[in-house]
């Protein structure tokens, strides 16, 4: 092989260069196999490929792929570890900080989330996403006033940010400000339409305002959009129960139990159709369906 390389004018590789070339080929193959496995849902094999590739070469793209696979597997600590590697390597990349914030949110680590958002906010001051995520962190820390302020700031940067309107309305409702929450809900209904989350929000606002009939009507719309929305059936049933419509409340509760039998086990210890009316009373007395 060396003789032919010299004969045809090629450069003969040293043993070290050949070793590095073979190692690069092996790395590329492991990386390619890992990406292919990730795309077809073979997560465990993808992780093995990526980890073996990193033994050969520290590659930021592989760390990125690993973070994605770990996130799909629900391994949040492992995903965060990979994102920290990326963050240390690219401290000026705001998107990495935002991804860290999203993972921290799933971990309910609101301090880490807020810190990542703050860094992203410095890097991209015109981006509303850090403000939105910071508000989520503040709400998780029960700083509702701060969350409202941050959400309002986000809307000054992007005035049609529907997710911000939704979170602000939910936060205002939790604070008891039904008037302001209703204004945000109306904006969402006008610009987003009959989306399940928007309708559920509107129904809860009407219930909090004491407009039970209107709330029930809006819950009807929720279950039309999503016939499997447990919250809508449970909360509508509570309103019916309070209004004296025992049959309607029982029907909604039975639907809740069909969709999630564990709801009954949490109340009575076992599932049984016997004595359902009494169990409905127990269930509704054991929960606060409005979440207030």
Per-residue pLDDT, 269 = 41
- Could you read off the pLDDT of 170-203 as tens digits, one per residue? 999 999 999 999 999 999 999 999 999 999 999 9
User: Which pair of structure tokens corresponds to residue 129?
Assistant: 């996403």
Q: Report the pLDDT averaged over residues 201-216.
A: 97
Task: Indicate if the pLDDT at residue 289 is higher than 70.
Answer: no
Q: Report the pLDDT averaged over residues 38-53.
A: 96
Q: What is the mean pLDDT of the chain?
A: 88
Task: Indicate if the pLDDT at residue 290 is higher than 60.
Answer: no
pLDDT band at 292 (very low <50, low <70, confident <90, very high): very low
pLDDT band at 260 (very low <50, low <70, confident <90, very high): confident
List of residues 6+ apart from 103 with CB closer than 8 A = 71, 76, 79, 80, 83
Task: Indicate if the pLDDT at residue 216 is higher than 50.
Answer: yes
List of residues 6+ apart from 225 with CB closer than 8 A = 194, 195, 196, 199
Give yes or no for a contact between 195 and 222, defined as CB atoms under 8 angstroms apart.
no
Q: Report the pLDDT averaged over residues 262-280.
A: 49
pLDDT band at 146 (very low <50, low <70, confident <90, very high): very high
pLDDT band at 261 (very low <50, low <70, confident <90, very high): confident
Per-residue pLDDT, 28 = 95
Per-residue pLDDT, 284 = 47
User: Which pair of structure tokens corresponds to residue 56?
Assistant: 């050969």
- Could you read off the pLDDT of 107-141 as tens digits, one per residue? 999 999 999 999 999 999 999 999 999 999 999 99
Q: Report the pLDDT averaged over residues 59-75.
A: 96
Percent of the chain with pLDDT over 90: 80
3-state DSSP call for residue 10?
coil
Task: Indicate if the pLDDT at residue 40 is higher than 60.
Answer: yes
Q: What share of the chain is helix, strand, coil (3-state, %, to 5)?
A: 75, 0, 25
User: Which pair of structure tokens corresponds to residue 231?
Assistant: 């919250």
- Lowest-pLDDT range of 18-32, 63-77, 144-158, 207-221: 18-32
Q: Report the pLDDT averaged over residues 214-237.
A: 96
If one compares 14 and 272, the residue with the highest pLDDT of the two is 14
Task: Indicate if the pLDDT at residue 264 is higher than 70.
Answer: no
pTM for this model (two decimals): 0.81
User: Which pair of structure tokens corresponds to residue 271?
Assistant: 């599932």
Q: Which residue has the tokens 């209703």?
A: 182
Per-residue pLDDT, 20 = 86
- Give Cα separations from 2 to 16, 24, 214 (angstroms): 14, 21, 86
Percent of the chain with pLDDT over 70: 85
């Amino acid at each position: 092989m060396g003789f032919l390389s010299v004969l045809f004018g090629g450069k003969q590789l040293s043993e070290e260069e050949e070793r590095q070339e073979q190692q690069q080929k092996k790395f590329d193959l492991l990386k390619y196999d890992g990406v292919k496995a990730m795309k077809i849902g073979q997560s465990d094999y993808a992780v093995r490929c990526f980890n073996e590739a990193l033994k050969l070469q520290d590659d930021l793209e592989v760390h990125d792929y690993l973070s994605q696979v770990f996130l799909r597997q629900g391994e949040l600590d492992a995903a965060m570890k990979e994102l920290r590697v990326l963050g240390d390597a690219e401290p000026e990349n705001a998107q990495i900080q935002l991804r860290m914030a999203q993972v921290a949110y799933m971990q309910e680590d609101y301090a880490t989330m807020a810190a990542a958002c703050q860094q992203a906010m410095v890097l991209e001051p015109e981006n509303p996403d850090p403000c939105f995520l910071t508000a989520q962190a503040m709400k998780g820390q029960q700083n509702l006033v701060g969350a409202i302020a941050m959400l309002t700031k986000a809307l000054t940067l992007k005035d049609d940010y529907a997710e911000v309107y939704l979170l602000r309305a939910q936060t205002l409702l939790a604070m008891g400000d039904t008037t302001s929450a209703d204004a945000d809900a109306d904006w969402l209904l006008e610009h987003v339409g009959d989306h399940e989350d928007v309708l559920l929000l509107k129904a809860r606002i009407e219930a909090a305002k004491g407009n039970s009939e209107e709330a029930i009507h809006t819950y009807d719309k929720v279950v039309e959009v999503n016939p499997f929305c447990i919250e809508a059936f449970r909360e509508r049933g509570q309103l019916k129960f309070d209004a004296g419509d025992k049959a309607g409340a029982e029907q909604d509760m039975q639907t809740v139990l069909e969709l999630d039998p564990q709801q009954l086990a949490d109340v009575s210890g076992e599932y049984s159709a016997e004595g359902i009316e009494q169990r409905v009373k127990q269930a509704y007395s054991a929960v606060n369906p409005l979440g207030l």
